[in-house]
Amino acid sequence: MENLVRLSVSDFIALTNQTLEYAYQSIEIEAEVASFKVNQNKFVFFDLKDEESTVGCFMMVYQLRVPIEDGMKVIVRGTPKLTKWGKFSITVQSVRPSGEGSLKKSYELLKQKLDNEGLFAQERKRTLPLLPSRIAVISSTGAAGYRDFIAILDERWGGIEVMVAHVQVQGEVASDQMIRALRYLNELEVLPEVIVMIRGGGSADDLACFNDEQLVRAVAASRVPVLTGIGHEVDESLVDLVADMRASTPSNAAERLVPDRRDMTERLRQTSGFLHRSLIRSIDELARGNQVKLQDALRHIRQSLDHSQQRLESLQSVMIAYNPQRVLERGYSIVRGEMTAGKIVTIDTATHHITAEVHNVEKR
């Protein structure tokens, strides 16, 4: 006789789920989304379909990291499950767009949503410190982009304490790891002055983790200013848009973070030259000022001397004019003695001294 197992419906469903779980711990399905809807702002339902088949999917809203809509091609990771109502569906752990078209569509939808919230507004952008001394880097230490960043940083500037949070920078877990790193760095007792998010170039799918809504919000919420250097110049991620400053590449991030020590040395030399010229100019000005004062003093002395000379000459002229000898030379004579008849008088002319006797004196 056949050994049949008799089960209740609940047991049957439980056994089926156990079997499914054993057989498919986690599966990935790539398909097109149909009948996408969100109930009570909590529960997400949609179908995955291809040309021949359809399967229902269920997930919570908080698990939905990128916008999804009907017609979009996605990759769903989840577990097959039979519900207690006997309906077969996939309980979704994660969903991400697949293919260039879907990635672009999802990107545009989320960009519009976050832009409407003002997350990309210019007024939110903070200025990075001019010369940071303590920075944090979120990147994969094995990545070429990280090595480029550190090499350019070392070449340009020194004395910076660089803390590196090693995370995956592509794949499904990358966004969560970067979010955890951001939170960790924002909770440090001594905060870094800047957080730099670095990743080298890659395909749109490789860079898709930088378009994760929760990661974008974590960057927006960071207490520490964030600088990004993700992909190549042409790549633009939502994390780039929300960051306080966006560099085009990892190397460019290092260039934007610190000045070049060679430029600084040149500027120092220019400063030194300027100070030297200022000092010399000031000394020259002082010397010129003193020379002018000296010349003024000399001129004053000369003028005073000239004046004295003129006065002396004038006095000399007067003296000469009053000299009795000059009068005598003009024919006059000086008579000394008593003007009485019989008395002896002396007469001085210009050329002779005469002694004479007075014969007669009459009043004129």
Partner 1 sequence: MSKNDNISGRTISEKLALLGELTAWFESDEFSLEQALEKYADAEHLVKEIERELTELRNKVTILDEKFAS
Q: Which residue has the tokens 């919570």?
A: 60
Angle formed at CA 107 by CA 102 and CA 111, multiple of 5 degrees: 155
Strands 134-139 and 353-357 turn out to be: unpaired
**Residue among 268 and 356 whose Cβ is closer to partner 1:** 268
- Work out the end-to-end distance of the chain between its first and last CA atoms, rounded to an integer number of angstroms: 201
* 7 lines the binding site for partner 1 (CB under 8 A): no
- Rounded to whole angstroms, the Cα distance separating 309 from 317 reads 12
Phi, psi (degrees; rounded to nearest 5) at 237:
-110, 165
- Rounded to whole angstroms, the Cα distance separating 297 from 268 reads 43
Of residues 220-279, which lie at the interface with partner 1 (CB under 8 A)? 261, 264-265, 268-269, 271-272, 274-276, 278-279
**Residue among 267 and 326 whose Cβ is closer to partner 1:** 267
* 148 lines the binding site for partner 1 (CB under 8 A): no
- Rounded to whole angstroms, the Cα distance separating 328 from 92 reads 147
**Residue among 179 and 216 whose Cβ is closer to partner 1:** 179
**Residue among 118 and 289 whose Cβ is closer to partner 1:** 289
Which runs of consecutive H residues, i.e. helices, occur in 226-260? Answer: 238-242, 250-257
How many residues belong to the site for partner 1 (CB under 8 A)? 41
H or E element in which residue 28 lies: strand 27-39
User: 3-state class of 192 per DSSP?
Assistant: coil
Q: How far is the CB of 283 from partner 1 (least distance, A)?
A: 7
Q: Which of 181, 194, 196, 238 binds partner 1 (CB under 8 A)?
A: 181
Q: How far is the CB of 52 from partner 1 (least distance, A)?
A: 37
Q: How far is the CB of 259 from partner 1 (least distance, A)?
A: 10
* 175 lines the binding site for partner 1 (CB under 8 A): no
Q: Which of 18, 141, 308, 323 binds partner 1 (CB under 8 A)?
A: 141
Strand partners, 353: 348
* 158 lines the binding site for partner 1 (CB under 8 A): yes
- Rounded to whole angstroms, the Cα distance separating 132 from 41 reads 43
**Residue among 147 and 217 whose Cβ is closer to partner 1:** 147
Q: Give, in order, the Cα–Cα distances in Å from 217 to each of 37, 65, 122, 144.
A: 23, 11, 16, 27
Q: How far is the CB of 165 from partner 1 (least distance, A)?
A: 5
* 291 lines the binding site for partner 1 (CB under 8 A): no
Q: How far is the CB of 170 from partner 1 (least distance, A)?
A: 14
Tokens of 360: 């007669």
* 173 lines the binding site for partner 1 (CB under 8 A): yes
Strand partners, 356: 345
- Applying CB under 8 A, which part among 8-16, 42-50, 163-171, 228-236 lies near partner 1? 163-171
**Residue among 283 and 301 whose Cβ is closer to partner 1:** 283
DSSP code, position 73: E
Residues binding partner 1 (CB under 8 A) = 130-131, 133, 141, 150, 153-154, 157-168, 173, 176-178, 180-181, 184, 261, 264-265, 268-269, 271-272, 274-276, 278-279, 282-283, 286
